[in-house]
Amino acid sequence: MKIGFVGLGIMGKPMAKNLLKAGYDVTVTTHKQAVIDEMVAAGAKAAKNAKDEIEQGCDVIITMLPNSPQVKEVALGKDGILDAKKSGITLIDMSSIDPVESKTVGAKLAEAGIDMLDAPVSGGEPKAIDGTLSVMVGGKKETFDKFYDVMMAMAGSVVYVGPLGSGNVAKLANQMIVASNIGIVAEALTFAKKAGTDPELVYQAIRGGLAGSTVLDAKAPMMLSGNYKPGFRIDLHIKDLTNALNASHAINMPVPMTAHMMEVMQELKNHDEGSNDHDDIVKYYERMTGVSIVKDEK
């Protein structure tokens, strides 16, 4: 099996490296030559674009791209997958996009005899690096089974969710929950500080109870230390919440908590914090209250 990988950003580069570590034959393409050089040094082959990857013999293409327009361009555009005019290959799109767009792209590819899985991931850069991402997959079950081991080379968990588009439905549900959880962690710790109680001790007191969560343990220490280095950028979470709002409105579903968190993140973006980690939500509360929970700050 020869794998073509398109998109070598914060998430894609370590994911592609984990495929190499697992022994797969990987050909990569991205806009940054320095990243191509780094990947070639790690054992990958280089290509100009997705079409070139297929012409070099890749029978599965993995994409890890910012949003729907980029996925559509690589799948359907000039020098893309469809442009290679080769049937029998498979696209595994691990980007987080609108599930409606996943279905649209999949239908176009199917007309040319090309299969597709939508397989977005959760876990951020640390889990991309150590190969323990959670992957949510939509598409044909037999295609999922065929490429399960490939996806597991980058993940700690790979779960089949349903037909094409279902992976991105699961990812959007994940992002809705994560945004709301980070928001309430920031709110609760700021409440503790403003009430005169050490927020770090509050965190330690509650983390073993019902309020304990992966989000609490991942983000509370970052908030308390003033560490806003991404992980997962506010701008990307805004993208996901935009897709969640669009998808929910398409099925006439009200999502008030998601909508509120979108407004919070827009406030952060307006303060030029879009490139910060989403734990930066705590700054929204800092600006509202005049209270910082960062250790050694009053």
Average confidence (pLDDT) over 178-196: 98
CA distances from 285 to 60, 228, 243 (A): 45, 15, 25
**What is the residue type of 114?**
I
Q: How far is C-alpha 250 from the chain's CA centre?
A: 22
Please say whether the beta carbons of 100 and 165 come within 8 A.
Answer: yes
Give 140-150 pLDDT, tens digit per residue. 999 999 999 99
> What's this model's pTM, rounded to 2 decimal places?
0.88
Which of 175, 243, 246, 186 has its CA nearest to residue 216?
186
**pLDDT band at 297; cut points 50, 70, 90:** low
**What is the residue type of 277?**
D
b/e map 208-218, b = 16+ CB within 10 Å: eeeeeeebbeb
Please give the Cα distance from 128 to 132 (Å, whole number). Answer: 7
Give 40-86 pLDDT, tens digit per residue. 999 999 999 999 999 999 999 999 999 999 999 999 999 999 999 99
pLDDT at 124: 83
What residues have CB less than 8 Å from 170, skipping those under 6 apart? 120, 136, 138, 159, 161
Give 84-114 pLDDT, tens digit per residue. 999 999 999 999 999 999 999 999 999 999 9
Please give the Cα distance from 7 to 16 (Å, whole number). Answer: 9
Residues annotated as catalytic are: 171
